[in-house]
Amino acid sequence: MDEILRNTFITVLTLSTAIHLWLAKRHIQFVSHHKNKVPDAFKKNISIKDHQKAANYTIAKSELGRKDTLIQACMLALLTLGGLISMISNFFDWISSPLLKDVAIILSVLFISSLIDLPFNYYKTFKIDEEFGFNRMTKKLFFADLYKQMILGLLLGLPILLVALWMLDNAGAYWWFYLWAVWSLFNLLILAVYPTWIAPFFNKFSPLKDKTLKTKIIALLKKCGFTSQGLFVMDGSVRSNHGNAYFTGFGKNKRIVFFDTLLERLNHNEIEAVLAHELGHFHHNHVKKRIVMMFIVSFIGLAMLGYFKDQSWFYHGLGITEPSNGSALLLFMLVGPTFIFFIRPIMAFYSRQNEFEADRYAKKHSSAKFLKESLVKLYRDNASTLTPDPLYSAFYDSHPPAIQRIAKL
């Protein structure tokens, strides 16, 4: 079984990496081929200069993404089959407590992974986004955010990690079910406290001051039967020139948040249409459905880990010489996404259908005309390509291509 698992993992990792690199190459070539002509549906609103900017921005990000994918695949192979996890485990042999040793191993692997990600994130922010006029972040703020993310990750992640490792050792044969229940409750708690405790850790939020816009939004909320804990403006311009709006929170602790950059670009009618689209997601319970889907996937995954944990071939086949609770969790976190890669088209398709559904809701409760105008402005101002490769888009994109989306409004 060791050999079967090892060969299966090598095949899946190689195939998933090759597919991603191939799709990204197709995407780059397709966007490049169509960058000298604006699609007919957008000729009145998007100039050839803006269209080419979006194409070049997409190409730059995709080329960086291909490099990132290749490095991540090599790193995963090194950690597992290359024996790096086992080497890290041997380094911490001086720690007498098995639980604390497992914590040290997991934190070390996560730290190494974050170091691998750092150059790509830095290049994306200070080279690509800077070149295309989107970056407003200083290097000081960039590293301050990294520090905050690390602190927050330890404060939130370390307790749940300790609980998980303790359960693996002490909760009996159904430890995976108890862990799934704790993990699910933990995620619901994070969703509930995110607006008031976590998000302000990174951004400033102030109540919406535009009385005319506020009145218009409140009228829309009443019309749609939606209640909110407040309308807020986020200082997104501190980090980026991109514009957006979103709902955050869970249950009664829901907030509506507008990027300050969005308010600068859209008129009141267009903002109302964007908000109506977001309300459509809540009306159709898209958020709740995604949460349920996440719980189902985590339940299946942890149930499988409950079986694999006691199989020696699970460890030996993936390069672990000394099985432990920590290595079981690590393999679950590292290797699992490689196998899930192949269901991404299904997840992307489901997400795109949700977007169409939310658009229909906005069309009914606001205005198709203003929703179309707002989307065109967002495509233009965020330099989103109007001509993605169809196969790449079908595999990855959570939102429908611009041409399809506008055509249905």
**What one-character-per-residue DSSP string does 160-178 give?**
HHHHHHHHHHHS-TTHHHH
Helix or strand holding residue 309 (H, E): none
Spatial separation of the C-alpha atoms in residues 369 and 109, rounded to whole Å: 50
- If you average pLDDT over each of 183-192, 224-233, 257-266, 384-393, which comes out highest? 384-393
Spatial separation of the C-alpha atoms in residues 278 and 286, rounded to whole Å: 10
Write down how long the chain is: 409
pLDDT score recorded for residue 2 = 84
Residue listed under structure tokens 């957008």:
42
High-pLDDT (> 90) share of the chain, %: 84
Asked if 389 and 23 touch (Cβ cutoff 8 Å), the reply is yes
With bands split at pLDDT 50, 70 and 90, how would you rate the model's confidence at 388? very high
Whole-number CA gyration radius for the chain: 23
3-state helix, strand, coil in the chain (%, to 5): 75, 5, 20
High-pLDDT (> 70) share of the chain, %: 99
Spatial separation of the C-alpha atoms in residues 201 and 146, rounded to whole Å: 12
Other C-beta atoms closer than 10 Å to the C-beta of 207 total 9
Q: What is the pLDDT of residues 306-340, one digit of tens each?
A: 999 999 999 999 999 889 999 999 999 999 999 99
Helix or strand holding residue 189 (H, E): helix 175-193
Q: What is the pLDDT of residues 88-116, one digit of tens each?
A: 999 999 999 999 999 999 999 999 999 99
Spatial separation of the C-alpha atoms in residues 28 and 22, rounded to whole Å: 10
DSSP state of 266: S
Tokens of 363: 């069309």
pLDDT score recorded for residue 251 = 64
pLDDT score recorded for residue 407 = 92
pLDDT score recorded for residue 248 = 79
Query: Which amino acid, residue 235?
Result: D
Mean pLDDT of the chain: 93
Model confidence at 254: pLDDT above 80 = no
Q: What is the pLDDT of residues 37-72, one digit of tens each?
A: 999 999 999 999 999 999 999 999 999 999 999 999
Spatial separation of the C-alpha atoms in residues 336 and 109, rounded to whole Å: 16
Decide which of 194 and 167 is more confident: 167
Residues with a catalytic annotation lie at 278, 359
Handedness of CA 237, 240, 243, 245 (dihedral sign): negative
pLDDT score recorded for residue 137 = 93
Spatial separation of the C-alpha atoms in residues 313 and 282, rounded to whole Å: 45
Spatial separation of the C-alpha atoms in residues 60 and 63, rounded to whole Å: 5
Asked if 349 and 357 touch (Cβ cutoff 8 Å), the reply is no
Average pLDDT score over residue span 173-192? 94
Tokens of 355: 């977007």
The model carries a pTM of 0.93
DSSP per position, 80-139:
TTT-HHHHHHHHTTT---HHHHHHHHHHHHHHHHHHHHHHHHHHIIIIIIHHTT-B---H
pLDDT score recorded for residue 331 = 94
Asked if 277 and 253 touch (Cβ cutoff 8 Å), the reply is no
Other C-beta atoms closer than 10 Å to the C-beta of 174 total 12
Decide which of 251 and 275 is more confident: 275
Give me the helices (H) in 284-343, please: 286-308, 312-316, 325-340
Average pLDDT score over residue span 290-305? 94
Average pLDDT score over residue span 5-11? 94
Other C-beta atoms closer than 10 Å to the C-beta of 8 total 12
Spatial separation of the C-alpha atoms in residues 335 and 320, rounded to whole Å: 13
Other C-beta atoms closer than 10 Å to the C-beta of 17 total 19
pLDDT score recorded for residue 252 = 66
With bands split at pLDDT 50, 70 and 90, how would you rate the model's confidence at 406? very high
pLDDT score recorded for residue 229 = 77
pLDDT score recorded for residue 242 = 87
Spatial separation of the C-alpha atoms in residues 53 and 382, rounded to whole Å: 10
Residue listed under structure tokens 């990027």:
259
Q: Which of these ranges, 172-176, 182-186, 192-196, has the smallest mean pLDDT?
A: 192-196
pLDDT score recorded for residue 230 = 82
